[in-house]
Amino acid sequence: MHHFLNEKKRISKSRWGHIISERVSELPDSEFENIMKIAKEDQSVISLGPGEPDFDAPAPIVNATIKALKEGKTHYASIPGLPALREMIARKLKKENHISLDDPMNEICVTAGSTEGLLMGLLSVVDAGEEVLTPNPAFLAYEPMIDMVTGEPVPYKLSDKDGFQIHPEEIREKITNKTRAIILNTPANPTGSVLSKKVLEEIADIAVENELIVFSDEAYEKFCFGKSKHVSMASLNGMHDYVLTFHSFSKSYAMPGFRLGYVAGHHELVKKMSQIHIYTSLAASTANQYGAMAALEMNQKYVEKMKHSYDERRKLTLQLLKNTHTLHVEKEPEGAFYVFPRITNGKKSSEYVHTMLKKAKVLMVPGNEFGKHGEGFARISYATGKDKIKEAFERIKQAGF
Ligand SMILES: Cc1ncc(COP(=O)(O)O)c(C=O)c1O
């Protein structure tokens, strides 16, 4: 007989500390969520915060997904993804990224966004206490993910002085006998920087010399502006075995809610990642994978149009930023859909962003959300309409920032 049948037994607050695993006990509370919530609740706020396209997914993608559901594609997909989708991805990788795989069907795994892929990759490569070099400031998931797999994040600093480029010699200095992997992100969140081929080649040499696996996060691959050009690390000579490439449908085709991405790499690694996939999510959403096939097959003018629109907004944002007194852009960003200006009135990121929210009703994301070297900066997303961008900067001016 159950002793407490009629009595509610509560776990005291202090006990939760013992119950929750050490692995996750220190995961950071994201301020990002909170401020995005404020922006959603207060209709008078203009948000320059979003980390996702303001476009809806193009019609061919939505239609293909609905069609798949109506046709009864409501069952599990094969673990690494629908074979037809993987074949299309292999062709796309070859044509657009110049990545040739030895054995495409065993070297691609479709994931629930590249977020899941990144975690699966870390689980496959990193043992407890081993080190992963990670950019800072960077996409806010990298360091917590490394913590979750009980690895050690070793941040390498990116600075606005040179447009947040990587200095390969600094990477080399940080390598120890515990280093297993290095994360790269190009074009980058939150800085908008695009890594040059020369920098990638130098890092490739370092990776091969030290037998490191490069995690190449290319979620914003489609959005390189001006003269900048996206180069995939895995396309460089001799890098096939050393690189896990992470691509995402979220930004390229405006389908973040579909939660679809894919990873490509050596079959030994992808096999392990597919096994992890079995024990965590089993497979990515079946119907959404039909949507993804439509994304790869549709007229790519949809993507070109989005890119063109982002570029116009980027130029507008950079122009309007020149009129502000408290935000400074050292070098113009060339990729993704972010600008990461330095705060010049001596305020810390969080205080600056909160004051702006209160006085100007404009929302930015505090730079320290993206790591300690993001302190003193704010992230502006221009994945929002031009009129809103103009109105936001008018308010910023009126409020004296
Ligand atoms: C650099 C970077 N990588 C990965 C992701 C995650 O994308 P996904 O929606 O594919 O999980 C994001 C999302 O903002 C990102 O900025």
> pLDDT tens digits for 284-314?
999 999 999 999 999 999 999 999 999 999 9
Residues 131 and 236 in one domain: yes
127: DSSP letter: -
Residues 100 and 203 in one domain: yes
Using the mean position of ligand 1's atoms as its centre, give its distance from the Cα of residue 191 in Å: 14
Residues 313 and 281 in one domain: no
19 located within any domain: yes
Residues 278 and 357 in one domain: no
Instruction: Give the pLDDT score at 60.
Output: 98
203-255 pLDDT tens trace: 999 999 999 999 999 999 999 999 999 999 999 999 999 999 999 999 999 99
* Ligand 1 pocket check for 49: Cβ under 6 Å: no
* Ligand 1 pocket check for 242: Cβ under 6 Å: no
Identify the band that residue 35 occupies on the pLDDT scale cut at 50, 70 and 90: confident
Residues 356/324, Cβ–Cβ less than 8 Å: no
Using the mean position of ligand 1's atoms as its centre, give its distance from the Cα of residue 325 in Å: 31
How far is Cα 30 from Cα 174, in angstroms, rounded to an integer? 27
Residues 142 and 232 in one domain: yes
Domain boundary among 244, 270, 297: 297
151 located within any domain: yes
Find where tokens 């990193």 sit.
Answer: 126
Q: Which residue has the least CA distance to atom 8 on ligand 1?
A: 113
For ligand 1, mutation pick of 251, 252, 289, 340 (most atoms within 8 Å of CB):
251
| Partner residues linked to 378 by β-bridges | 366
Residues 192 and 214 in one domain: yes
Q: Does the pTM of the predicted model rise above 0.75?
A: yes
| Residue range of the domain that includes 218 | 75-297
How far is Cα 378 from Cα 321, in angstroms, rounded to an integer? 12
Instruction: Give the pLDDT score at 364.
Output: 96
Task: List the CATH number of the domain containing 103.
Answer: 3.40.640.10
74 token code pair: 């409501």
Q: Which residue has the least CA distance to atom 3 on ligand 1?
A: 219
Q: Which of 277, 224, 301 is nearest to 113 (CA)?
A: 277
* Ligand 1 pocket check for 185: Cβ under 6 Å: yes
Provide Rg for the chain, Cα atoms: 22
Instruction: Give the pLDDT score at 225.
Output: 98
Domain boundary among 297, 317, 349: 297
Identify the band that residue 31 occupies on the pLDDT scale cut at 50, 70 and 90: confident
Instruction: Give the pLDDT score at 9.
Output: 85
Residues 336/98, Cβ–Cβ less than 8 Å: no
Residues 36 and 132 in one domain: no
Residues 212 and 85 in one domain: yes
What average pLDDT does this structure show over 347-364?
A: 95
Residues 255/286, Cβ–Cβ less than 8 Å: no
What average pLDDT does this structure show over 75-91?
A: 97
For ligand 1, mutation pick of 30, 54, 109, 115 (most atoms within 8 Å of CB):
115
355 located within any domain: yes
Instruction: Give the pLDDT score at 152.
Output: 97
For ligand 1, mutation pick of 145, 164, 189, 247 (most atoms within 8 Å of CB):
189
112-137 as b/e: b if 16+ CB within 10 A: bbbbbbbbbbbbbbbeeebbbbbbbb
Q: Of 19-28, 114-123, 190-199, 355-364, where does mean pLDDT reach its minimum?
A: 19-28
Residues 25 and 163 in one domain: no
- Which string of DSSP letters, residue by residue, matches 356-367? HHHHH-EE-EEG
Question: What value does the mean pLDDT of the chain take?
Answer: 95
Task: List the CATH number of the domain containing 361.
Answer: 3.90.1150.10
63 located within any domain: no
Residues 118 and 199 in one domain: yes
Residues 172 and 111 in one domain: yes
Number of structural domains, the chain?
2
279 located within any domain: yes
What average pLDDT does this structure show over 8-37?
A: 86
The Cα-based distances of 305 to 5, 54, 389 in angstroms read 62, 13, 19
Q: Of 30-39, 81-90, 91-100, 118-127, where does mean pLDDT reach its minimum?
A: 30-39
What is the percent of the chain where pLDDT is above 70? Answer: 99
143 located within any domain: yes
199-225 as b/e: b if 16+ CB within 10 A: bbebbbebbeebebbbbbbbbbbbbbb
Residues 289 and 383 in one domain: no
201 located within any domain: yes
Q: Which amino acid is at 282?
A: L
